[in-house]
Amino acid sequence: MSTPAERRRLAHALPPLADADDAAIERFIDAIWAEHGLSPATLEAYRRDLQGLARQRGSLAGIDRKALFDYLAMRTRAGYSPRSNARLLSSLRAYFGFCLRRGERADDPTALLQPPKQPRLLPKALSEAEIEALLAAPDVQAAVGLRDRAMLELMYACGLRVSELVGLPATALNLRQGVLRVMGKGSKERLVPLGEESRHWLQRWLVEARPAMLKALRDPSKAVALFVDGKGQPLSRQAFWVLVKRSAAAAGIDPKRISPHGLRHSFATHLLNHGADLRALQMLLGHASLSTTQIYTLVAREHLKSLHARHHPRA
């Protein structure tokens, strides 16, 4: 099975994108953005999927069902996961359906293709004790540590996606009312309560550390991002990943057991374990469908079974 680095090298070795394919892809991207208001990350995923197919098969114009089947099979052999191939097929269905509606094709080559079966993976959540250790790991005597503590507290308190966290503007925060305005997938906005602990650390970050880190900017008053690095620039997703791994190691937690998204999973799991309503959890997480949220009921059920096995005298 190939590694992600090997797959990237393979992609770079493919021929450049033809002008006709590039123009067709951009027409499609513009159309779905206007119709559905998709996020830049989602649009980029569509673009990347279509460019990869066009480069691999030579052109998008003459692709038939067999060519798509062969392409998906090739990706499977190259080590792409069923989830990745299912997402690719979703992109292709959207594109070829668009071409069919515009009269640019007489058929839809994805019509009879079935998405690959995906294993049902339960979200991996930390225990409440591990979360407490993780949150306490940053050195809050330093400005960077104070920022790290505030970010971890906010991530766990609100169940944010990583992209939502690093993309927060300072204006999204209302400490007086104790709420955070979050722009989620599909540009859907939601309000999430902060909680006393996260409010405390956010207040300290805003007063004690953020102004000092913004001094590196020529005009600190124009800074938009809530969380910044030592140069006053918005923190990236990759930098937050490093932050989480560093804090996990300091807390004595195996870094392989945790990811930034794991804090969101822990938020949801712990709320359910303490009796939260599934509909309320759906709103807090920003899920479009309740079925997406229901996966956490399985996690909570496994937790209850584990408690029963450990403590019931006849377990």
- Active-site residue identified among 46, 71, 80, 296: 296
- Active-site residue identified among 55, 75, 161, 265: 161
Q: Which residue shows structure tokens 């515009």? A: 102
| Residue 26 burial (CB count, 10 A) | 12
- Active-site residue identified among 27, 47, 65, 185: 185
Q: CB of 266 within 8 A of CB of 131?
A: yes
Q: Is residue 161 flagged as an active site residue?
A: yes
Q: Is residue 261 flagged as an active site residue?
A: yes
| Residue 213 burial (CB count, 10 A) | 22
- Active-site residue identified among 147, 264, 265, 270: 264
Report residue 192: phi and psi, to 5°. -125, 130
DSSP string covering the chain, please?
---HHHHHHHHHHSPPPPHHHHHHHHHHHHHHHHHH---HHHHHHHHHHHHHHHHHHS-STT--HHHHHHHHHHHHHTT--HHHHHHHHHHHHHHHHHHHHTTS-SS-TTTTPPPPP---PPP----HHHHHHHHT-S-TTSHHHHHHHHHHHHHHHHT--HHHHHT-BGGGEETTTTEEEEE-GGG-EEEEE--HHHHHHHHHIIIIIHHHHHTTSS-GGG--BSSB-TTSPBPPHHHHHHHHHHHHHHTT--GGG--HHHHHHHHHHHHHHTT--HHHHHHHHT-SSHHHHTHHHHHHHHHHHHHHHHH-TT-
Exposure on the CB side of residue 75, measured as CA atoms within 13 A = 24
Q: Is residue 296 flagged as an active site residue?
A: yes
- Active-site residue identified among 27, 93, 124, 261: 261
Q: In whole angstroms, what separates CA 18 from the centre of its chain?
A: 31
Residue numbers annotated as active site:
161, 185, 261, 264, 287, 296
